[in-house]
């Protein structure tokens, strides 16, 4: 009799495997989401070995502080050796869609600064082409409708994320029906639209390592 795999168990396995990248004295970049919550729980077990963390969301900051882990303001930190975060989708080149939890802007800032970006996920997140997961885009509220019209011209179907305000006071459009064949190109193109704060494609700066947990165990790509 085969036992069903609990997706949350897979997230935990991927998250705990990322602890091997954490070395004594580090300030650790910490992402956001249910997979990262397992990573924070694991980080708490070695908290006396690290200097602290920088966090990509108010939710992660709260969880880190609950464990007594020091959270630094990014302006106090000049380098982040390792950033650990989840993803909504990844392709084989470690280009990602992120922002399902709405924390994409701070996530992209920390990913940019990080020397090594370790992405943690269950194997359902690995896809042949990005775009099945609706692409989150953080927008300045007054530009929302204008940007939505531009996204329709690109073949997308943007949906306003109702009753959601980002940690930066902005709104999110979730764009359905995009087949993202050239992720870095689309990311750059959308980056040029005024009013877009952050595009949830992480392809110009992809992950360096992907830790994937599946029914056959944990494997790493990119190392
Ligand atoms: C939050 C994110 C998350 O990393 C992404 O949504 C994956 O979340 P989860 O680990 O809960 O599946 O980008 O903005």
Averaged pLDDT, 89-100 = 98
1: CA distance to ligand 1 center in Å? 32
Residues of the chain above pLDDT 90, percent: 96
The answer to pTM > 0.95 is yes
123 Cβ neighbours under 8 A, 6+ residues apart: 10, 212, 213, 214, 215
Nearest residue by C-alpha to atom 8 in ligand 1: 33
* pLDDT digits 0-9 by tens, 151-208: 999 999 999 999 999 999 999 999 999 989 999 999 999 999 999 999 999 999 999 9
Whole-angstrom Cα distance, residue 223 to residue 209?
6
**Residue in 15, 30, 63, 98 to alter for ligand 1 test, most ligand atoms within 8 A of Cβ:** 98
Nearest residue by C-alpha to atom 7 in ligand 1: 87
Answer whether residue 27 shows pLDDT above 90: yes
Nearest residue by C-alpha to atom 6 in ligand 1: 100
Q: In the structure, which protein residues have their CB atom closer than 6 angstroms to any atom of ligand 1? A: 31-35, 85-88, 98-104, 107
Tokens of 88: 């909504």
Nearest residue by C-alpha to atom 5 in ligand 1: 87
Whole-angstrom Cα distance, residue 106 to residue 126?
23
Residue 85 alpha carbon, nearest atom of ligand 1:
4
111: CA distance to ligand 1 center in Å? 14
Alpha helices by DSSP H, 114-167 = 144-153
Q: What is the pLDDT of residue 4?
A: 72
Radius of gyration (C-alpha) of the chain in whole angstroms: 17
Active-site positions? Answer: 107
Computed over every residue of the chain, the mean pLDDT equals: 97
Indicate the pLDDT class of residue 2, thresholds 50, 70 and 90. Answer: low
Whole-angstrom Cα distance, residue 165 to residue 44?
29
Averaged pLDDT, 105-123 = 98
Q: What is the pLDDT of residue 223?
A: 78
CA distances from 22 to 9, 39, 80, 116, 131 (A): 21, 11, 11, 11, 31
24: CA distance to ligand 1 center in Å? 26
Place of tokens 């204008």: 146
CA distances from 168 to 33, 74, 116, 172, 196 (A): 17, 15, 25, 11, 13
Answer whether residue 121 shows pLDDT above 60: yes
Tokens of 76: 């106090």
> Taking the C-alpha atoms of 110, 112, 116 and 119 in order, what is their torsion angle to the nearest 10 degrees?
70
Averaged pLDDT, 34-39 = 98
CA angle 81, 86, 91 (to 5 degrees): 100
Whole-angstrom Cα distance, residue 134 to residue 2?
32
Answer whether residue 147 shows pLDDT above 80: yes
For residues 62 and 81, is the Cβ–Cβ distance under 8 A?
no
Q: What is the pLDDT of residue 1?
A: 52
Q: What is the pLDDT of residue 194?
A: 98
Answer whether residue 119 shows pLDDT above 90: yes
Q: What is the pLDDT of residue 184?
A: 98
Q: What is the pLDDT of residue 124?
A: 96
Residue 34 alpha carbon, nearest atom of ligand 1:
11
Residue 35 alpha carbon, nearest atom of ligand 1:
10
Strands 209-214 and 217-221: antiparallel
């Amino acid at each position: 009799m085969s036992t069903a795999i609990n997706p949350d168990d897979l997230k935990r396995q991927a998250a705990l495997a990322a602890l091997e990248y954490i070395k004594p004295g580090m300030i650790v970049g910490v992402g956001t989401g249910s997979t990262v919550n397992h990573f924070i729980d694991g980080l708490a077990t070695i908290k006396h070995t690290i200097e602290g963390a920088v966090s990509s969301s108010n939710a992660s900051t709260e969880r880190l502080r609950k464990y007594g882990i020091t959270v630094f303001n990014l302006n106090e930190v000049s380098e982040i050796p390792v950033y650990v975060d989840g993803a909504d989708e990844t392709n084989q080149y470690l280009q990602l869609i992120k922002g399902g939890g709405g924390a994409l802007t701070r996530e992209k800032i920390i990913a940019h600064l990080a020397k090594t970006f370790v992405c943690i996920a269950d194997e359902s997140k690995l896809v042949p082409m990005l775009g099945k997961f609706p692409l989150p885009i953080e927008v300045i509220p007054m530009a929302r409708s204008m940007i939505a019209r531009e996204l329709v011209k690109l073949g997308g179907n943007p949906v306003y994320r109702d009753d959601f305000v980002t940690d930066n006071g902005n709104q999110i459009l979730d764009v359905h029906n995009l087949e993202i064949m050239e992720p870095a190109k689309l990311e750059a193109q959308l980056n040029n639209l005024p009013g877009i704060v952050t595009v949830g494609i992480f392809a110009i700066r992809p992950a360096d390592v992907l830790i994937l947990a599946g029914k056959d165990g944990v494997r790493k790509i990119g190392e």
